[in-house]
Structure 1
């Protein structure tokens, strides 16, 4: 497979005119050369935090607080999940995954409710699609054992040392929500030595120092935080201390669109377009232990192609900035996953 256009090459997304050659699922060459195509070739996205089970309840719960919406065990989302049939949940999740596939998301890190059965339901929803979920089971050690790791709701909801130790013994990923409502659960979360934190909307200087010293990545979800009224994460402060990745969080609240998350983050935070693109691609891949998110020889051939001559993108003076701040689903001309 040969794709021509402006290629955002390497970890710094340097725009070069030329072609990408993909053979047997891997990039075998990036050839810098004059070509006729106006397409823009971008690494596929990695969505660093999702709850796609919530696909059964899009835009439910308007006006409710964060706890009323999502707090276990009786937040609205949990009641709706318990009331829905397995078939309804699988079909709703599959539709969200299909949207991710069409818009160039190669993988997503899912905090999966429903124990072992919830893990199996998500695997069924993703079957036959080209998006590879990284599933973090919740609620039980058994769910972690059936999944790719454990996703903890937060230190305010439990102690989680048993689950953390079991996850470490399995050599799997342990993530935990922290600092979403206030700073009180950040230190207890850091004490668990997680592989990554989610949200961190309210870090204090001590927390930022600990995050930096421990080199713990953070998945931020600014659209979700704004919707739930908890504030917005200090993306620049976090970026200066550690690896930051973007997630779209609950499908109840937001579409799983990395285009929208990038645009929002870029316009919210004082960071460069290249930094935001890294948050949507290689940084999420790093957290998940994946090798995608960068267009380079020998890396997986997971990419999306944007129509650089679309009404939206034509005439862009800065290609990377245009991809991050204005590209959308309507500009996608091809996806290779």
Structure 2
């Protein structure tokens, strides 16, 4: 298979005119050559933080605080999940996975509520789509063993030493929310030596130094932070210290569109377009240990093809900036997963 057009090659997304050659699901070569195609070829997205279970409750709870919305065990989200039957939950997650696939996402890192049954539900939901979620079980070590790792709530909510030890022994991924509402849970989260943190809206200066020392990656979810009124992360300061990725968080409050998340992050956090595109692709892939997220030889061919001649994108002087700040579902020609 050959894809031709403007190729956003490598981690720097250098735009070259040429073709990408794919064999058996792998990028085998990238050739610079003249083409007649206006297509733009880039890596498919990696949504590095999702909660898909609340797909059944989109736009519920407007005006509630973060704690009232999602804090376990009595937040609105958890009450709605408890009241829903299994078929409804699986259907909701399937629809969100289909939407992500249609909007150019190759995988997501899902913090999956409900213990082992919750893990089994998203496995059922994913069976009918090409998107392959990285599932982090929650609540029990058994859920971790049944999935790809453990996704912890904030360290103020519970002690996670047992789950962290079990996850490390299993050689699996451990992520934890930290610093979403305030800084009080950040030190305890860092003490667990996690594979990544989520949110980090409110780090103290010395905690930024701890991040620098540990180089722990951080997943930012800026649209979610605005909706729940907790503020915005100090993205520039964090980017100076560690690797950043991008996630859409709860489907309850935001659509799982990486196009929307990228545009929001680029404009509101004042980050360079190339940095934001890395956050939405290769950085999330590397957190999850996946061989994707970049157009390079030897990488998995999880690719997105945009119509550079669409009414929305034609005339773009900076292709990467246009992809990050302007492109959307209507510009997609093909999602290769």
Provide the TM-score with structure 1 as the length reference: 0.99
CA distance in 2, matches of 1:126, 1:168: 26
Secondary structure at the aligned position of 1:209 is classed as: helix
Cα RMSD (Å): 0.6
Q: 1:128 Cα shift? A: 3.2
Structure 1 runs of 4+ with >2 Å offset:
none
CA distance in 2, matches of 1:13, 1:128: 32
CA distance in 2, matches of 1:306, 1:39: 6
Is 2:322 the counterpart of 1:315? no
Is 2:301 the counterpart of 1:301? yes
Alignment of 1:250-265 (within 5 A): 250-265=250-265
- Of residues 251-260 and 230-239 in structure 1, the stretch that sits farther from structure 2 once superposed is 230-239
- Name 1:71's counterpart in structure 2: 71
Contact 2:94 2:128 in 1 (8 A): no
CA distance in 1, matches of 2:271, 2:152: 29
Structure 2 gaps of 5+ residues are: none
- Name 2:12's counterpart in structure 1: 12
- Name 1:240's counterpart in structure 2: 240
CA distance in 2, matches of 1:62, 1:272: 32
Secondary structure at the aligned position of 1:100 is classed as: helix
Deviations 1:92-120 (A, max 9, x none): 00000001111111110000001000000
Secondary structure at the aligned position of 1:296 is classed as: coil
Deviations 1:183-220 (A, max 9, x none): 11000100000000000000111111101100100000
The alignment of Structure 1 onto Structure 2 pairs a total of residues equal to 337
Q: 1:268 Cα shift? A: 1.2
- Name 1:171's counterpart in structure 2: 171
Q: 1:270 Cα shift? A: 2.7
CA distance in 2, matches of 1:188, 1:141: 19
Secondary structure at the aligned position of 1:184 is classed as: coil
- Name 1:41's counterpart in structure 2: 41
CA distance in 2, matches of 1:295, 1:205: 36
Structure 1 gaps of 5+ residues are: none
Provide the TM-score with structure 2 as the length reference: 0.99
Alignment of 1:134-283 (within 5 A): 134-283=134-283
CA distance in 2, matches of 1:327, 1:203: 32
Q: 1:271 Cα shift? A: 2.1
CA distance in 2, matches of 1:86, 1:117: 9
Deviations 1:22-76 (A, max 9, x none): 1100001111011000010010100000001110100000010000000000000
